[in-house]
């Protein structure tokens, strides 16, 4: 019977230049990182690039990883920061080249009829609703509701007080419920 090496063991081996150890870490956590990045960016071709970027940053900062937090938490922090950077870049690009498509997207308002819901694919609607959130609110939603971190863990990852996490989460979920109300009501 072979024991699966822990993340810490793999990190120590990777620090000494063992590339197979880093590859194992990568394969172990790539789905989780991809989910976090996809939660932040939505359906986008940038997801693949950004996941690569996260692991490259992780590799470059292996020596700085002290093991205070779990490897997955450390990777999530890198993923969130990289995604926030990407969203900032995207915003700058949008302000330079305003897309007409973006302007013509009409989000259904709360209280719209079921027939209108049919026009939107559910996934697309959720992506649109997430896009309506401010990046920092989105980060809280992704950490708490998508990745399942506790309020304390989310606060530590984002470097903000727990109260701020709770208030951002409350505002963000209220906004999401407003937009996704019909979907939520439909399936209850």
Partner 1 sequence: MNQLPSSTSKDNNQHLHSLLRETAEINAVSGMQPFLADRIMRRIQTLNQPEEQLWQTLWLAFRPVALASALLILGFVSYNASVSRNYEVEPTPTEVVFGLQPLTLTTAYSANLDEFLLTTP
The footprint of partner 1 (CB under 8 A) covers 19, 22-23, 26-27, 30-31, 34-39, 41-48, 51-52, 55-56, 59-60, 122-123, 126-127, 130, 141-142, 145-146, 173, 176-177, 180, 183-184, 187-188
Give min distance, CB of 93 to partner 1, in A: 18
Give min distance, CB of 8 to partner 1, in A: 20
In the complex with partner 1, the residue whose CB is nearer, 126 or 166, is: 126
Residue 186 CB partners (closer than 8 Å, separation 6+): 114, 117
Q: How many residues would you count in the chain?
A: 188
In the complex with partner 1, the residue whose CB is nearer, 156 or 177, is: 177
Give min distance, CB of 58 to partner 1, in A: 10
In the complex with partner 1, the residue whose CB is nearer, 15 or 122, is: 122
In the complex with partner 1, the residue whose CB is nearer, 35 or 156, is: 35
What is the 3-state secondary structure of the chain?
CCCCCCHHHHHHHHHCCCHHHHHHHHHHHHHHHHHHHHHHHCCCCHHHHHHHHHHHHHHHCHHHCCCCCCHHHHHHHHHHHHHHHHHHHHHHHHHHCCCHHHHHCCCCCCCCCHHHHCCCCHHHHHHHHHHCCCHHHHHHHHHHHHCCCCHHHHHHHHCCCHHHHHHHHHHHHHHHHHHHHHHHHHCC
Q: How far apart are CA 50 and CA 10, in angstroms?
A: 23
Give min distance, CB of 160 to partner 1, in A: 20
In the complex with partner 1, the residue whose CB is nearer, 24 or 77, is: 24
Give min distance, CB of 43 to partner 1, in A: 5
In the complex with partner 1, the residue whose CB is nearer, 9 or 123, is: 123
Give min distance, CB of 9 to partner 1, in A: 19
């Amino acid at each position: 019977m072979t024991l699966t090496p822990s993340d810490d063991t793999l990190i120590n081996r990777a620090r000494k230049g063992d590339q197979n150890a880093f590859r194992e870490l990568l394969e172990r956590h790539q789905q989780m990182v991809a989910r976090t990045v996809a939660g932040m960016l939505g359906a986008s071709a940038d997801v693949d690039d950004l996941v690569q970027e996260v692991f490259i940053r992780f590799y470059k900062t292996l020596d700085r990883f002290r093991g205070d937090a779990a490897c997955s938490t450390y990777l999530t922090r890198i993923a969130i920061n990289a995604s926030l950077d990407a969203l900032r870049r995207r915003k700058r690009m949008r302000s330079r080249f305003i897309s007409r498509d973006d302007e013509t997207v009409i989000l259904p308002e709360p209280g719209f009829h079921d027939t209108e819901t049919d026009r939107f694919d559910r996934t697309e609607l959720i992506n649109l609703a997430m896009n309506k959130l401010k990046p920092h609110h989105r980060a809280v939603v992704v950490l708490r509701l998508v990745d399942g971190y506790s309020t304390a863990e989310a606060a530590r990852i984002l470097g903000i007080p727990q109260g701020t996490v709770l208030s951002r989460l409350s505002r963000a979920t209220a906004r999401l419920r407003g937009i996704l109300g019909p979907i939520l009501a439909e399936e209850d």
